[in-house]
Structure 1
Amino acid sequence: MTKRSQFVPIVGTGAAAAMIFNILPFFVGRAAEAFGLSDGAAGWLATTYLAGFGVSSVSAPLWLHRLGKRALGRLLFLSAAVLLAAGGMIASYVAVLGVLLAVGLVLGGLYTMSFLLAAEHPDATRALGVKLGGEVALGALLLALLPTLIYPAFGFSGILGALAIVLVSVSACTHFLPQHALETGNASMDHAHFAMPASAGLALGALFLFTVGQASVWSFVERAGARAEFDASAIGGVLSVAVLFGGVGSFLAGALSDRLGKAMPLAGAASLYLVAMALFAFGGQFWFYAGAVNLFFFSWLFALPYLISAIAGLDDSGRATSLVTASLAFGSMLGPAAGGELLERGGFLLLYFSGSLVTAAAYAVVLGMAVRQRLVPRRSE
């Protein structure tokens, strides 16, 4: 397999597994309309899906190695597609919750698989950047097509059906997977005395907090525009462009890799994030809203490869890396529910303040490690 073809399954598995999260503001907004949900209930709908995603992510290292990569990938793609297609035929909110929980369980395994494939690449930072860029490219395409072509004609059930079709199409990437099984690092996980370094555990906690803060805001970005009475099609356009802008951030992180170290890129991302939150809170006008959404998603996906590769650099055993997806999944799971509760209790200002506080703390932890310990970037083999 050529070096370029190695990226095909990395990008394909990641993009398919992350697509619901990347369209989450639109997904939550349309579900709220379809079922007449409050902000809190809409947040819990997203959390139900992400709960399945998180449980699967935690357990995935225990079972992903039991099948060959190609067979495993095809099984996960097909299972998720069938579940979403079935969900599109159900009109009950409770039944859809069950379907989303099951889909989360399947796609959590697929997302862990994508991270392990990226971790096998000689340049992990670049592989992660390209992977995340591919994920948001698919998300941007869906945000451009679903609000204009699918939802007006077929409603929320049409969204689920369209996502099933996407999964079947993207499953072609499994052709580029080898037959042998994934290396999941179980050997180190089976021996409790091979504990990961405390610094790696702290960095994983920071990644969890970072994801909680980001997901709590991202889940309600569409609702923020709607409450401000901005045009619905304009909001959809902003979300689509923002996801593409996030892809630019991921690809830029992959291109830069560790040329500037980790501290400088992370400090830049944190600065852009704070500007975005100020625009969200105090901008008021549509163009401030559009700028905030784009800066928010760019800073998020530019920082993420550096945060993940920093964790990998702190633990040579690979045990911490195997828990990255769990940190992302459980952070994403808690974020929407927390965001919905904050909205109901104090409105968007409380949401933005709380999200900023949590995310800034996460940045401070990893930046402190990067400056004090001078994290060594992975070398290409």
Structure 2
Amino acid sequence: MLAGMALVVIGMQVFIIQPGLVSVLIAGGAGESIVGYAASAEIFGIALSTIAAASIGTRLSWKWLAGQALALMAGANLASAVQTTGEAFLLLRLLAGLGAGIVISLGYAMVGMAPDPDRSFGHLIIAVLAYGALGIFGLPAAAALLGTGGVFVLLALMAAAGLGLLGLVAQPAPVERPTEPQAGSRASLNMLLAAIFLFFLGQGVVWAFLSLIGERMGIAPQAVANGLTIAQLAGIPGAFAASLGRRIGHRLLIAVGTIGCVAPLAVMTMRLDAVGYGVGISIFNAAANLMTPLLVAIVAGIDRGGRLVQRAAALQMLGLAVGPALSTPLMGHGFTPILGLSILLFLSCWLLSALNPSRTGGGKASNA
């Protein structure tokens, strides 16, 4: 399970620090549009490869897949160190995303096979957030010391380090038929998967631009980075709360998570100072990181063979990929439309979850 967590952290290496990286790239001379589309291209690459990984299942060696994907990530990041603008940069970020998606999918499936998925995914998100907090906090200093290219070299080294984990990659025994839900209707499962997609689409719409929103409010870049770092740390108790899903009940936690996502974004439509901005994004990140492991853990409780978890990971990354592409054309109208769209998507996720008769109930039954 620890190897699976490490693979997910490596695969998430850019997405989790994306707001800070967007700011660094723009400060380095890249245009806002090219940076927005680069963010979308990378996450879209992740989405494509997570979908492919879910389709492949266990037909190929997970060790081989992980090795190829990590090598692709390392190569694309190294090339990005010398090419940070133009269409070539978009292609390189797409390639990095293709590698990252396979790594994330395999890591998610390995964590999903743990005995207690609620707790395991909660711990996973805590590990991702710890990396994100350190990464976002250190990005301005790293960019100042090493340049934008140096940041991508560090990302390449991180991916290369993952090759040392290949001996720990665990693969489930092949099964004669695909794993299917043990209880409830296929329509109920589809509603759950649709809710997952809508949630991560809403997150993707706003996440990459949180740093720019703060800077447009007149907050200094380092203060924005500090706020995002605190927000990453605030996500840790949210992820921990997700591990209590069996005790508290999934439906209640999803309602709390939705409120925590929607309310701060609504407040951010107004001009805030550095403290207000930091508090708002901290509440948002705590709620988002409650929802992230909770939704995937519900799926893992249905399917212990990893196939449905890989589908959930694919939908997660597809939503995160499409989100920035939806936001970029809206940037010319200010950030209020972006915040409003994100709020609408979070509420739609909650509505599907609330209408779901069997997947998000309370207590242990919800993990049947």
Regarding TM over 0.5, the answer is yes
- Partner residue in 2 for 1:363: 350
Matching residue's letter, 1:354: L
- Partner residue in 1 for 2:209: 220
| C-alpha deviation, 1:251, in angstroms | 2.5
In 2, Cα distance between equivalents of 1:48 and 1:215: 12
In 1, Cα distance between equivalents of 2:238 and 2:178: 33
- Partner residue in 2 for 1:278: 266
- Partner residue in 2 for 1:136: 129
**1:291-310 superposed Cα distances (whole Å, 9 cap, x missing partner):** 11111111001112222233
Q: Is the 8 A contact 2:133 2:232 kept in 1?
A: yes
| C-alpha deviation, 1:371, in angstroms | 7.8
**1:31-89 superposed Cα distances (whole Å, 9 cap, x missing partner):** 23334313x43321111111111110111134463454444434432331122112212
1:353 aligns with 2:345: no
1:159 aligns with 2:151: yes
| C-alpha deviation, 1:152, in angstroms | 0.7
CA 1:85/1:66 → structure 2, altered by over 3 Å: closer, same or farther? farther
- Partner residue in 1 for 2:250: 262
Q: Is the 8 A contact 1:269 1:300 kept in 2?
A: yes
Matches within 5 A, 1:28-67: 28-38=22-32, 40-63=33-56, 65-67=58-60
In 2, Cα distance between equivalents of 1:373 and 1:126: 16
In 1, Cα distance between equivalents of 2:256 and 2:30: 40
In 1, Cα distance between equivalents of 2:277 and 2:148: 26
Per the normalisation by structure 1, the TM-score is 0.87
In 2, Cα distance between equivalents of 1:95 and 1:186: 43
- Correspondence for 2:95 among 102, 112, 133: 102
CA 1:121/1:352 → structure 2, altered by over 3 Å: closer, same or farther? same
Q: Is the 8 A contact 2:47 2:321 kept in 1?
A: yes
- Partner residue in 2 for 1:304: 292
Q: Is the 8 A contact 2:245 2:253 kept in 1?
A: no
RMSD over aligned Cα, in angstroms?
2.6
| C-alpha deviation, 1:330, in angstroms | 0.8
Greater alpha carbon shift after TM alignment, 327-336 vs 168-177: 168-177
5+ unaligned residues in a row in structure 2: which ranges? Answer: none
CA 1:247/1:112 → structure 2, altered by over 3 Å: closer, same or farther? same
CA 1:64/1:203 → structure 2, altered by over 3 Å: closer, same or farther? closer
- Partner residue in 1 for 2:5: 11
Matching residue's letter, 1:163: L
1:145 aligns with 2:138: yes
Matches within 5 A, 1:150-189: 150-178=142-170, 181-182=171-172, 187-188=177-178
In 2, Cα distance between equivalents of 1:147 and 1:289: 19
Q: Is the 8 A contact 1:219 1:339 kept in 2?
A: no
| C-alpha deviation, 1:339, in angstroms | 1.4
In 2, Cα distance between equivalents of 1:173 and 1:372: 34
In 1, Cα distance between equivalents of 2:22 and 2:152: 12
1:250 aligns with 2:245: no
- 1:282 partner SS: coil
Q: Is the 8 A contact 2:133 2:228 kept in 1?
A: yes
CA 1:88/1:314 → structure 2, altered by over 3 Å: closer, same or farther? same
Matching residue's letter, 2:342: G
Percent of aligned positions that are identical: 22
5+ unaligned residues in a row in structure 1: which ranges? Answer: 1-5
| C-alpha deviation, 1:16, in angstroms | 0.6
Matching residue's letter, 2:318: F
In 1, Cα distance between equivalents of 2:51 and 2:320: 14
- Correspondence for 1:200 among 169, 189, 201: 189
Q: Is the 8 A contact 1:34 1:156 kept in 2?
A: yes
Per the normalisation by structure 2, the TM-score is 0.90
Q: Is the 8 A contact 1:84 1:99 kept in 2?
A: yes
In 2, Cα distance between equivalents of 1:152 and 1:340: 27
In 2, Cα distance between equivalents of 1:314 and 1:182: 16
In 2, Cα distance between equivalents of 1:115 and 1:342: 33
- Partner residue in 1 for 2:329: 341
In 2, Cα distance between equivalents of 1:242 and 1:186: 45
Q: Is the 8 A contact 1:116 1:182 kept in 2?
A: no
- 1:266 partner SS: helix
Matching residue's letter, 1:46: A
| C-alpha deviation, 1:329, in angstroms | 1.0
**1:80-116 superposed Cα distances (whole Å, 9 cap, x missing partner):** 1122112212354222211111111111000000111
Q: Is the 8 A contact 2:34 2:85 kept in 1?
A: no
In 2, Cα distance between equivalents of 1:196 and 1:15: 33
- Partner residue in 2 for 1:3: none
1:87 aligns with 2:74: no
1:116 aligns with 2:109: yes
